Chains A and B, each alone.
Chain A
Amino acid sequence: MNASFRVEHATRSSHVGTVVFAVGFVVLAAAPAWGGRDDLRLLSEIYAYVALASLWNLLAGYAGLVSVGQQAYVGLGGYVLFASTILAGVHPLVAVPLAGVIAGVIALPVAGLMFRLRGHYFAIGTWVVAEVFRLISSQISALGGGSGISLPAGIVTAMASSRQMREFLIYWVALALVVAVLAAIVLLLRSRYGLALTAIRDNELAARSNGVDVTRTKLVVYILTAFGTAMVGALIFLQKLRISPDTAFSVNDWTAFVIFITVIGGIGRVEGPIIGTIVFFLLRQTLADLGSLYLLMLGAVAIAVMLMAPKGIWGLIAERFGWQLLPLERRLRFAADARTT
């Protein structure tokens, strides 16, 4: 019997989700028309966190590599942008993908070292790497050493004719970047690599004995994540117009928030970081300047979620209703089947 089949990814809820995303994208792309400066800045920040959280989720939730040192690549991206624009005259928007490529290259030997550590020790090891990057960057006097450096006005004005155009431009690049990151993640998960990743996530040993090259898959994911994270980092600091070792490699900003967002939203599901970022920013708007109390509460909420609802908000919803916002399921549709969904 020769059964031919194809793999289907969509469900009814994912059709709805895709439409929602499409509509949302159009609305957000038009934001310069309906939103003010502050709105654009807030949205850009949201995009950055969605991207960072999605990338961390890919690394930790799918590949099982729990890193608390991704700030290494955020800062690296920022510094490559500043270095290449200031010292080598590279156009800022070209510097963004350049930052990604350089991060990807550096990620290879880093992974070579870090993969010698397992589980919890891997996590702390990644933190050490971030610290090393931070310390090295504070030694580079050409980039301001320990106190950091501002992006020279000339580079900034060269980007576009007016300040407004510049802000629109950076905004669109930020939107394009987060869409690209999400699209890349969805495509990766739909590919055979994605199948391998899901297998690794569910049971590494079983995946290995089924022929999945676990180490190579993890390496690829680690490098791609570094690539994406650095680009987001470059864009973040392009927007901030100033960089310093402490802000570039801040554990709180680039790791604590990201981890809490992903845990609360739902680890191991693509929708999780998106939901988590929304929750995070809603909380931030309502709780405003509580400073360290805010981080404290966030930590407590994350712990509570981890203990009582380890799949996060989206995990609860998805299990209860069987929804998915993005077409990531896998169903075999045989030619002989005449059924429809």
Chain B
Amino acid sequence: MPEPLLAVRALDAFYGDFQALFGVSIEVAPGEVVAVIGANGAGKSTLLKCIAGAMRSRRDAIVFAGSPIGDEPAHTVVARGIALVPEGRRLFPSLSVEENLVIGGQLGRSGPWTLARIYELFPALAERRHAPSTSLSGGQQQMVAIGRALMSNPKLLLCDEISLGLAPIVVREVYARLPSIVAEGSSLIVVEQDIVQALKAAKHVYCLQEGRVALTGPTASLTREAISAAYFGA
């Protein structure tokens, strides 16, 4: 059986005294799209933050391409090839659209994603490249955030609630780009509260409930009832 690209093993996470994750284990194979769904506060963002290094964990709780990285800080994790599109987009307000993209690539990792390629993927951004990043619409800002993460040529892209605050038609536009991203060689973890798009895009799904994996399996084989039960808790 091929080695998974990412293996999260029995991950616990705490905010002070509050435990947000209890022994969470997930796997992502190379070239795979995995969805992590769950209600508000289920621990989805926490999981992504731990993977990305924004929160420190036990060293062997997170294994990426065979190396344990659980205790590494965010700036070394991204050098290894994991990029996070943060919840709420969090563009840099002092930087223009193009500067946001360029700084995403400041590590200089080689790969298919260049500034030109990003503008090909998101043509609307090319027209507004010098505008202050925060002057764009929500959907365009989301594209900048994704582009910024892609500029580091990640092997694994983490998308934290990219549909948040966007109109359904815009959400569809954004999700329509995901296959191109996978085609260029990145694996994806897509975290969503809105499960429709997530389930359409992903081959494998994990459902978190109050910090635990309540359900997992290939998307195709899971029933609506099972997902609902796992999502809300029986």
Chains A, B in direct contact (C-beta < 8 Å): no
Interface residue ranges, B against A (CB under 8 Å)? none
